[in-house]
Structure 1
Amino acid sequence: MIQHEAAAPFPMPDDLPAASRRVAAALAQAGHPALIRIFPDSTRSAAEAAAAVGCTPEAIVKSLIFRRADDDVPVLALIGGADRVDTTRLATAAGGRVARADADFVRRHTGFAIGGVPPVGHATPPVAVIDQGLFALSTVWAAAGTPHAVFQTTTTDLARIAGAITAAIAADR
């Protein structure tokens, strides 16, 4: 496991992947001293990330990209790893009907591939919505640009750095 601190946007460690360097720069710009951790095994899914960092899937934040149907604006849903997004609730919070984005839309609007989409550093600033259920946890883990990179944060800091609206967007279990 390689660990890198995101204390300042420059200089960045040469062995940190380019996508993770962009996340580190965005975190530093937001005043967040996150430590980006790179794992040899995949952290693409909530279960894989939880196994890698040694937490429960609930403490993994999924950064899911949707597109607002009326104007194609990207919508970022930040939700716990064990939860699913209720698209009706998300649409209410995001200000319009939403649909799941395809891989091309995600890459074009975020600059990241599915499986490593972080909550910050997107090419096009999204409408960000964080599920209120995440606030039951003090510490969470989020993707850091690649399917092998994550960082730890608090839910309060996550909402702040993502510029997220707080709403109940999780589907009922």
Structure 2
Amino acid sequence: MENSSPADPSADPSVTPAAPSAAPSGPSVAPAKPATVPMKPSTGPAEPAAGPGGHTAGPEGPAGPERRPHGPDGPDRPDGSDGPDGSSAGADTALRMFLAGAVLLAGLAVFLIGPLLAVACGSCQDGVRSVRLEGVLLAIRDFAVPITVITTLIGVFAARHGGRAGCAGLGALGLLLAAMVLVARV
């Protein structure tokens, strides 16, 4: 049998030996040299081949820092936990609940105390200043504050980064409180 490759395949890095077939078809004749298959040029980072048990070899051997072995629940858990006990998912849920409570309390404070703080006046005769833009002040309280609280709560639980949504909502509530005070002072 003649080899169709004119050069030694071990000298060319773009050529790898082909894997032998598990079930030979036809007469069983052993070739003198294994057949070679040219490799495709890489366009990005290569995925390492999985070894026995689903582990992949990284720079430090099997299950190195690039990849870690999958737990008994599989590689991608929908709850986002790192371990089979779900520890980080529970902590994430607890932090989201805490943030949701903070948003609700801040929204309640802006809704109830904001207008009172806006119309309070220490030097006025009865302690309350007259507000020229009363409709704008009430529109902020009746529409903007509840919409901000509801959309923030949706963002805290629905978004992947719920902490960012919660912090943005708390900041927006602070800006609405400042807007109420500025509208009442005009």
Q: Shorter-chain TM-score: what band?
A: under 0.3
| TM-score between both structures, scaled by the size of structure 2 | 0.21
Q: Which structure's residues are more often helix, by fraction? A: 2
| TM-score between both structures, scaled by the size of structure 1 | 0.22
With a CA cutoff of 8 Å and minimum separation of 6, indicate the structure with the bigger relative contact order: 1
